[in-house]
Structure 1
């Protein structure tokens, strides 16, 4: 089971188990136990690395002060053997909720002084909430036991670089957020938004040897971690990143700490704070040594997704250095207070990104004054308008603002990214191609029609510092227009053909081959079949050949970067490497949207990355592993897992059959095709029977199915009768029953043969996968990974051509029937109708009404 499948299974089970507990609360229990398992397993690994025997491990207790101090000194805490997660699992029926209470209490006592700030109170939410899992100790014990069984298979041995653990943790946080309604915004920034901010931040700080990043409203810590991961792709040593996090709500603050610790970040690189960002600024010091430990905190990067338009108290804040230069946000909306807090903590060469509601761009009053100061001092660098409904719990439009302390330019890049998304349930989600397009536009700072624009400060000043995005970027598609002359007299407006200029530029002689130009503003089609002429045009054919030539070495190159380095390549960096090669080949080719191509890459990359993770974690032999195919079925009213055959951990059975057992697969499919034909014939015969015929014993009471035994019996009697009296009429009931009997008999034989052949092929495929040579594995991986990607990429030129055909067909159809044609048709129809009215007979009053209608139709 890969990490995605394991995470989905845990979520599904957890969601069923949580009973009446709200998702927002239940997350604290399951995530807390996952964290406790992580700490327990980490202690066991440390003990094994220190050559502790199994007996010595079992003897671990608080009574051995020397061992306690040794372990605390190295990992920052101590857990006795009786309190280990693995011990709880071993106890089975003897496990009790009191064991958890005792363990969590002991953990708090046994933290090393140097790690107090990191670990102290980290299980408080879990500890104080256990009673909500049931109204009796027995029910609480049962609920906790179920949770422990659910998460016991999450690997935490470090072989995966904590990626499996981290992925599952993030997956669960995201799923709980999706089910927590408005409360989700308190702890979660959607992953795609987080990735977008991360890419922008990482590009700015990519060349630095050491980096400090800060999230002032850290929530679950996911945004901070994503930025760290993006930055790490550009750094030789990820331990050179230091994380600062501040969060107001205690249970959410605990999530931040857990999330950071479990990612293998050095404890010395984690600095967290449970405080009100606006009321209690960071300047951090140790209570025991305030002078020497004071840190005003200026950082390379600051990010945040604060609560939107929150009330706050600006009184007595006028002298606060965070706000003194720019002004105080109104007490009803703290959005700019959070922004100014983040800006204050930036180094001179730092960068920040903050998510805020769209209203911060244009609201007046105190906010307008702050906005003016930010623009006049050249702090505001970029505005990104996001799609609506992208955040859990709110449908309001949001923006990402990117700011700097010092800039060389004064313009502002405004990006309207509100139209690029995919629908997912009630929410909208940024696609990989959307993220890539936005990030590229922001890092290069370029104007893209209907998407982005570099706006000079003078224009912002002229607009009284109103930053409402539609003032500067019109992302709407042009409304369809109708040419009056062409609507009346026909012809194709040259202006509408000119709008397809990219195509005429790519195919210079195609337009003249399709339309005549008589010197007027209107052209005429000169071919009947536009589609055929376009597809057969030499320039269009050459376009496909040019694309093929640009990618002629792409498949061999992919073999080199994926298959030849399969166990050593760096998975997080590989997609970026492939996208660079993809974009380089697309650069000289007209018409094709490189971000559409990137989406194709990302769609294929996700399953490839899963396979690579398994191979790099478990070794190349994982490609030859076959696992039981477990499915969930109902048994005695309960869901139980049962095995239905086998499945390859890496190798799909169907791919292996298509490649190495095609003869047997074709024979099986031939039988299945014949079975489909017979089934259709049986259904057709049944439908052809009269209702009276369906009343016979050969058809069931519902009249929708033959009774096989009765059909066979009656057909036998009818055949005997036919020998004596001659054949029946082909359309008769008797002839149909004889045919149905033959088909039903063949259907039964085929079903048995198919079942036997499928089972034999299934077992043969299993044996084949387990015995694959290295060369066969690589060939199959190329067929699974590279060839489908190659094929979809090579469909792009045809997509462009078909798009042109659709657009031209629409223009031709639009003006093919003129207003005059319609008017003549209406007049002719009215005349015919008037003539028909004269032939009608009716009572006196109806005749008067018909006469008046006839007069109107005649135009009198």
Structure 2
């Protein structure tokens, strides 16, 4: 089972278990147990690396001082054998809630003092909430609830290099699902993964040439922003343990989430520095509690990232001289947005970068915020502003932005991006797509103006706008209203300016416009062909463009096959999508019209599936391609089992359509015949007179279908007219054939399942690779090829719609109205009726213009 399927299974079980407990609370409990399993299994793995075996693990106790010290020094904590997660499972029915409480108490006692800040009180939320588990009937119900929970969690794999990623993925999956399903209460600490990834990519690209970086999140929440930046930065830097993480969080239970999440991603305890405190009230003069003077250190980092609470009330009293705010001003007490921003900016190194999520209002609100905004612009700190789609964060639908700031910049302009239109709907929320993220990141990196998307704005232009940074002042993404040309409406023809809206097509296909349209004056055009769409596809320039794209896809096919199929065991999963996308964008450089970001979206969607398969293959070996699993088992009343099978990597339908086409075709023919029988039965029903149907015993109560047993009975008794008996004889024949056919189809499907299983399990290496290529590469290339067809189809429809728009002039409409009125008047003259009818007709004639 891949990590997505496992995470979904755990989420489903969590929903079933959580009854009366709020999602926000239940999240803390299930994630706490997952974290404890991680620590336990991590310790077992370490012990085995220093030659402990399963036989002697029960001797790992607090009495063994040497082992306790060894484990503490290397892991930062110690768990005795009796308190391991795996030991809880072995206890079976002897397991009780006291095993958990005792273990958590012991954990707190046995933390390495040097790592106390990382691990101290990390299970507080779980310890205080255990009493809420179960149905409230005491220790027995708590024990039952916890046992069910740990039985589920035990399925999380902890073997091999991918442990951290799998566990971390499940952890974030649960956090995001709890946030999405519980509204603001559970979502306030969580930044959607796509927004986090966008911020991370921008920051990581800025830091990519550094060997070691320090990053800080002063409102860390679940820690996902820090983790994503670290992941992206590591991808560019190319070595492990090169990132130091600083995190601060006000709420205790959320602070615990930050620490757990960082630890479970395999980050060394020495690289984690966390603090539970109020960011605005208690700034970060970092020091150790035992020796504050000697360990005092002002924090300056390479990158700060944050998603603070929006427009929070704060107390600016006495902070006029606070070095964070002194050079810019104090945010109003009713809105702390700029206070958080200035805090972040203060903690940057001179060459650092920061990204912060804020409500859109910070761009234009006046008063104290206007003063701070002016100072930020005059001191050249604001680098980029990105307007996000509305309704993108859990629990709030307000428009938000990402602001990128730096302390020292060489350029003195501001890049403003309106990315509010790029998203997909997902339930009640909007979600950034992969193509949206990439387009934004590429625009930031290139720092370029893109029509209807971004603009590089000079400081003078911003000053001319009185330091108002409201995005629509600089980037117009509004949809233009449809115009109607007066001349064309009266006399026909297509206005040149409306045809010019398709200029990118006329530039790409130089002869196309003149082959589709003619003009006498250059101002208005007439179509020169009856079928625009067919003429479009037959144009030599268009056909050359299609051939060029087919050549690109052929080359991309070869590249993908070499990258993914030939090297599937060594593909670097963390970096490979960047390699593939770079090749795709490079291939499409000289190809006009097609949107490379749409192509990238197809690639990203495909990569998500491909990477899941690669993760399984690289973890379990290439033979896993030939593995078939039981998906479901069904037992008949007699106790006989039947199974539904599925390939671990290869879907059954893919294998069937590739290697068992004869059997698939035979089954399809049978299904087609079943449909024909159904249609024939409906026709037979229509052949019966309505009075026969009303009194017929061989039909159901609704009189809309035959009843087989009743049909048989009627035929034996010959209790119907000769015509009806003829119909019923045909119906009986159809029922007989249908019954036999259904039986054959059922057996055929069962045989096909068995045969498919056999075929997969005995595939040669070449056959396995060919099928994997079909699943990964061919499916993606099909999507990319369809993009070209869709583009031309859409263009053709727009041209046809434009032609239809002016095909009937107002003069034509006037003539049609006059003709219709005359015809109607003639029909009215032929009408007769009562005195009142005659008066009504006369009045109607007046309306039509007759005196």
Partner of 1:612: 614
Instruction: Find out whether 1:163 has 2:165 as its counterpart.
Output: yes
Where 2:158 maps in the other structure, the secondary structure is coil
Output the CA distance in 2 between the equivalents of 1:810 and 1:55: 78
Of 544, 552, 555, the match for 1:553: 555
Structure 2 residue 366 is matched with structure 1 residue 364: yes
* Separation in 1, partners of 2:313, 2:683: 70
SS of 2:394's partner is: coil
SS for the counterpart of 1:499 is helix
Contact 1:718–1:738 at 8 Å: present in 2 too? Answer: no
Counterparts of residues 669-688 of structure 1 (less than 5 Å) = 669-688=668-687
Whether 1:130 aligns to 2:115 is: no
Superposition deviation, residue 463 in structure 1 = 0.4
* Partners of 1:609 and 1:156 in 2: CA distance: 19
Q: Deviations over 1:238-266 (max 9, x none)?
A: 20111111100000000000000001111
Question: Does 2:467 align with 1:471?
Answer: no
TM-superposed deviation, 1:300? 0.7
The CA deviation at 1:718 is 5.9
Q: Summarize the alignment of residues 237-636 of structure 1 with structure 2, pairs less than 5 Å apart.
A: 237-630=239-632
Instruction: Spell out, residue by residue over 1:550-598, the C-alpha distance to the aligned partner (whole angstroms, 9 max, x if none).
Output: 3332211111111111011101211111111111111101100000110
Q: Aligned in 2, Cα 1:186/1:520: closer, same or farther, shift over 3 Å? A: closer
Distance of aligned partners of 1:35 and 1:634 in 2 relative to their CA distance in 1, 3 Å threshold: farther
- Please state how far the C-alpha of 1:769 moved relative to its aligned partner: 1.0
| Cα deviation, residue 396, structure 1 | 0.2
User: Does structure 1 conserve the Cα–Cα contact (< 8 Å) formed by 2:157 and 2:163?
Assistant: no
Deviations 1:746-770 (A, max 9, x none): 1111111111121111111111111
Runs of 5+ consecutive residues of structure 2 not aligned to the other structure = none
* Superposed CA offset, 1:202-226 (max 9, x none): 1100010001111110000011101
Tell me, what secondary structure is at the counterpart of 1:54? coil
Mapped to 2, the partners of 1:436 and 1:383 lie a distance apart of 16
Q: CA deviation at 1:621?
A: 1.2
Equivalent residues of 2:188, 2:395 under 8 A apart: no
Structure 1, 458-467 or 661-670: larger mean CA deviation = 661-670
The structure-2 alpha-carbon separation of the partners of 1:713 and 1:529, relative to structure 1 and needing over 3 Å to count, comes to same
Instruction: Output one character per residue of 1:413-465: Cα deviation in whole Å (capped at 9) or x when no partner.
Output: 00000001000110000011111111111111110000000000000000011
| Residue 62 of structure 2: aligned partner | 62
Quick check: 755-764 or 846-855, which moved more? 846-855
- CA offsets, 1:441-499, max 9 Å, x none? 11111100000000000000000110000000001222111001111111111111111
Residue 291 of structure 2 aligns to a residue whose secondary structure is coil
Task: Quote how far apart the aligned CAs of 1:811 are.
Answer: 0.7
Query: Where in structure 2 are the equivalents of 1:683-832 lying within 5 Å?
Result: 683-694=682-693, 695-715=695-715, 732-832=723-823
Deviation at 1:665, TM superposition (A): 1.8
Instruction: State the secondary structure of the residue aligned to 1:291.
Output: helix
- Post-superposition Cα deviations, 1:353-406, rounded to whole Å, max 9, x if no partner, equal 000000000000000000000011110000000000000000000000000010
- Contact map agreement 2:217 2:305 (CA 8 A) in 1: yes
Change in CA separation of 1:603 and 1:53 when aligned onto 2, cut-off 3 Å: closer
Task: Verify: 1:91 aligned to 2:91, yes or no.
Answer: yes
> Secondary structure in 2 aligned to 1:836?
helix
Larger deviation, residues 489-498 vs 247-256 = 489-498
Displacement, 1:288? Answer: 2.1
> C-alpha root-mean-square deviation of aligned residues, in Å?
2.0
Is contact 1:216-1:246 (8 Å) kept? yes
Cα 1:188–1:781 change in 2 (3 A) is same
Paired residue secondary structure (1:71): helix
2:844 corresponds to: 853
Q: CA deviation at 1:673?
A: 1.7
Whether the 8 Å contact between 1:42 and 1:157 is mirrored in structure 2 is: no
Distance (Å, rounded) in 1 between the aligned partners of 2:819 and 2:389: 51
Q: Distance in 1 between matches of 2:705 and 2:86?
A: 57
My pick for the range that moved more, 705-714 or 29-38, is 705-714
Distance 1:757 1:440 in 2: 53
C-alpha distance in 2 between matches for 1:353 and 1:631: 51
Q: Are 1:28 and 2:19 matched, yes or no?
A: no
CA distance in 1, matches of 2:509, 2:838: 64
In structure 2, how many angstroms separate the alpha carbons of the residues matched to 1:522 and 1:245? 64
Tell me, what secondary structure is at the counterpart of 2:78?
A: coil
Larger mean CA deviation between 553-562 and 167-176 belongs to 553-562
- The match for 1:121 is 121
Matches within 5 A, 1:647-662: 647-662=646-661
Q: Deviations over 1:316-364 (max 9, x none)?
A: 0111100000000000000000000000011111100000000000000
- 2:355 counterpart SS class: strand
* Structure 1 unaligned residues grouped into runs of 5+: 636-641, 723-727
Deviates more, 1:35-44 or 1:680-689: 680-689
Equivalent residues in 2 for 1:834-849 (5 A)? 834-845=825-836, 847-849=838-840
* Distance of aligned partners of 1:408 and 1:631 in 2 relative to their CA distance in 1, 3 Å threshold: farther
Equivalent pair of 2:832/2:838 in contact (CA under 8 Å): yes
**CA pair 704-64 structure 1, distance change in 2 beyond 3 A:** farther
Give 1:649 deviation, angstroms.
0.4
CA distance, structure 2, for counterparts of residue 469 and residue 796 of structure 1? 32
Question: Deviation of residue 813 (structure 1)?
Answer: 0.5
Change in Cα spacing, 1:803 to 1:106, as seen in structure 2 (3 Å) is: same
Tell me the CA shift for residue 691 of structure 1. 4.7
Distance apart, 1:512 and its partner CA: 1.0
When structure 1 is superposed on structure 2, of 117-126 and 800-809 the one drifting more is 800-809
2-structure distance, mates of 1:185, 1:812: 50
- Greater shift after overlay, 664-673 or 119-128? 664-673
- What CA distance in whole angstroms lies between the structure 2 residues aligned with 1:432 and 1:81? 45
Describe the SS at the equivalent of 2:247: strand
Q: Give the match's secondary structure for 2:82.
A: helix
Q: Deviations over 1:183-240 (max 9, x none)?
A: 2343100000001001100110001000111111000001110111111111221201
Q: 1:43 to 1:149 in 2, by over 3 A?
A: same
Worse-superposed segment, 353-362 or 136-145: 136-145
8 Å contact from structure 1 (residues 831, 858) kept in 2: no
SS at match of 1:129: helix
Q: Post-superposition shift, 1:841?
A: 4.0
Summarize deviations over 1:91-129 as a string: whole Å, max 9, x none. Answer: 222221121111111111111111111100000001001
2: distance between equivalents of 1:322 and 1:633?
Answer: 69
Asked if the contact 2:391–2:429 (Cα under 8 Å) also holds between the matched residues in 1, the reply is yes
C-alpha distance in structure 1 between counterparts of 2:331 and 2:163, whole Å: 43
The TM-score with structure 1 as length reference comes to 0.96
Task: Give me the whole-angstrom Cα distance separating, in 2, the residues matched to 1:710 and 1:717.
Answer: 11
d(CA) in 1 for partners of 2:321 and 2:734?
Answer: 92
Q: Which residue of 2 aligns with 1:639?
A: none
What is the TM-score of this pair, normalised by structure 2? 0.96
Say which SS state the counterpart of residue 239 (structure 1) adopts. coil
Alignment partners' CA distance in 2, 1:45 and 1:427: 41
